[in-house]
A and B are shown apart, each in its own frame.
Chain A
Amino acid sequence: MELLVASAIGILTAAGLYLVLRLRTFPVIMGMSLLTYAVNVFLFASGRLTIGAPPILTDATTYTDPLPQALVLTAIVISFGMTAVVVMIALGAYLGADDDHVNDPADAQDDLEDLT
């Protein structure tokens, strides 16, 4: 199970990194989502992987660390909100400029050179 979770996080991170390095906003946002999924699973696993145990202190001898679950919930909410914001801003930029490259536009550089 450790191997499974670890390789899942690794693959998600690798795919996310690859997509983040793309030139257009849509793949970059997809990559960001993959990275946040990866980090959520990673946070979840940071309290050790325990199967079938309650996340609360009871009379039972084994229990799951509850704190990473709280951390993950916070992280999920935040990354969800952030993704929504970046989609809105990227859509605005795309619809405004009719171009969804993430780098600075080439024509802005040309304008500068024309003026000098």
Chain B
Amino acid sequence: MSHWVILPVVLPAILAPFIVLAARYHIGIQRVLSVAGVATLIAITAGLAWQAADGTVTLYQLGDWAAPFGIVVVADRLSTMMVLLTAVLALFVLLYAIGSGWDARGRHFHALYQFQLMGIMGAFLTGDLFNLFVFFEVLLIASYGLMIHAGGNARLRAGVQYVLFNLLGSTLFLFALGSLYAETGTLNMADLSQRVALIAPEATVGIRIAAVLLLLVFGIKAAVVPLHFWLPSSYAEAPAPVAALFAIMTKVGAYAIIRVYTLVFPPDLSVTEGLHGLWLLPAALVSLAIGMVGVLAAKKLDRLVAFSVIGSMGMVMVAIALFSPLGIAAALYYIIHSTLAAATLFLITDLVRASRGNLQLTVTPPIAGAALTAGLFFVAAIAMTGLPPLSGFVGKLLILDAAFDTPLAVWTWAIILSASLISVIGFARAGSIVFWKAQSVEIDPEAEPAPAPSPLSYAAVGGLVLMLILLTVFAGQVHRYTTTMAAQLFAPDVYISTVLDTPGKLSDATDKEDH
């Protein structure tokens, strides 16, 4: 059996304590270990993605216990794509954290970073709902530490809100798991998908409650309106590299919705019929609208980016809520784009903060390194607002196309297009105030000019922008691949049979018991 599948979880889990114990006082060694770890992760996850590309579902049984009794890790196209995206994002964000010196402003940045990666990777790879909960908690507890990295009152206060909101989410998650287990007697996702389909329509109270609660929980993670209140202040107050890494965390919620509502509660299941169309789609449209209006209303650059994250999550959710292969394929393409664009914008915000001192959208003298920063902001804003020629435009077109013949098509098209217009205005206003109008202000000759950000910071941001451009250039290939991904999600038989029929320790004995 191949042990590679579990490595994205195990490697950071070993590296993090090693960094704490062995390299506690040596930031240099920490940096080397952390970058080496993330680079190895990219290699491993790229290997996994390559392995899954032809449609094979790789199963790893921990301790060789067969599902549904043992814990399983499953790597299919969707999971491997998400872990690869996480690893690539993590490398650039880590390089930025090192280049800007953020990692040295508090202790244990690198260890927490590795734990965070462990949680995210685990959440993407697990095949068991309870383990999804556990990995959510792993990534959350690491994110609490990262969120208040470098301290400060505003950050701590935002941290309290963030932690409490997520604790509430975890409690709801446990309630959902309890009702699911009480109804079906299993929490393995493949096993659940078989058993949920067997339940008679009149005895489905617990299942319905669980389905709605799970949607709420994942909606909290994905910051869908009206569950988005934790996002603006925590993302704005978090250290910039952390906020950039958090760009993938909202996608964990989106991933969980895609996974659970294609596998366990598929769209044609009569129990949860209408849940997506009736609740998720309007909520997603409202998120999109509120996010983009927030972009226009924001008075600080970091809030503006945080609201654009809500808006782009709304866009992802619109595509997901269609729950058609076309919609999911578009959503997956947009997820890659939105993760990279949001992370880039958070890092650029920090470039501005580093040389400007504050992020108020008021006219101040030109900042150090303004030309390059402004150029990067211009590109990232084009990507985020979905103007041609970058990947945001392609993603939006795919989503509009997927929504074309659905009942709410008029609403969807109207809201997507007007929200895009509003966000373009919001970003254009912010960019012109911060970079353009600054040229008209006299530089105070007495003032000490702030140092320009380090080349490594620019290299990291430039790398992310390059990924966005590559995503645009290879849009055809990527979209073809996400289409096969969606096809695999809507035909989960291979997944289910791989998970349930692979024999493990004692599987003969359990077979007898089952039948």
Contact = CB atoms under 8 A, between A and B. Distances in A.
B299 A116 contact: yes
Contacts of B153: 93, 96-97
A43 interface: yes
A1 to B, nearest CB: 16
Contacts of B178: 39, 42-43, 45-46, 68
B160 A47 contact: no
Contacts of A45: 178, 182
Given A78-B134, A85-B163, A92 B156 contact: yes
15 contacts: A28-B164, A39-B171, A43-B178, A46-B178, A46-B181, A48-B182, A74-B134, A78-B137, A86-B160, A86-B163, A93-B159, A93-B160, A97-B157, A104-B157, A104-B161
B181 A71 contact: yes
Given A32-B167, A92-B156, A93-B160, A85 B179 contact: no
B299 A89 contact: no
Given A32-B168, A46-B178, A46-B182, A105 B157 contact: yes
A43 B172 CA distance: 12
A78 B160 CA distance: 17
A42 B154 CA distance: 36
Interface of A: 20, 25, 28-29, 32, 35-36, 39-40, 42-43, 45-48, 65, 67-68, 71, 74-75, 78-79, 81-83, 85-86, 89-90, 92-93, 96-97, 102-105, 108, 112, 115-116
A45 B182 CA distance: 8
B144 to A, nearest CB: 5
B296 interface: no
B220 interface: no
| Consensus secondary structure, chain A interface | helix
Q: Which 4 residue pairs of A and B lie closest in terms of their CB atoms, listed nearest first?
A: A93-B156, A46-B182, A46-B178, A96-B153
Contacts of A71: 130, 177, 181, 187
B163 A36 contact: no
Contacts of A35: 168, 171
Nearest to A71: B130
B148 interface: yes
B362 interface: yes
Given A89-B144, A97-B156, 4 more contacts: A46-B179, A67-B181, A71-B130, A86-B160
A32 B170 CA distance: 10
B150 interface: no
Contacts of A65: 185
Contacts of A42: 174-175, 178
Nearest to B181: A46
Contact of A36 (B148, B160, B171): B171
A19 B434 CA distance: 43
B148 A89 contact: yes
Interface string B347-375: 00000000000001010000000000000
B73 to A, nearest CB: 17
B233 interface: yes
Nearest to B162: A89
B13 interface: no
Contacts of B157: 93, 97, 104-105
Given A46-B182, A78-B137, A104 B156 contact: no
A12 B333 CA distance: 43
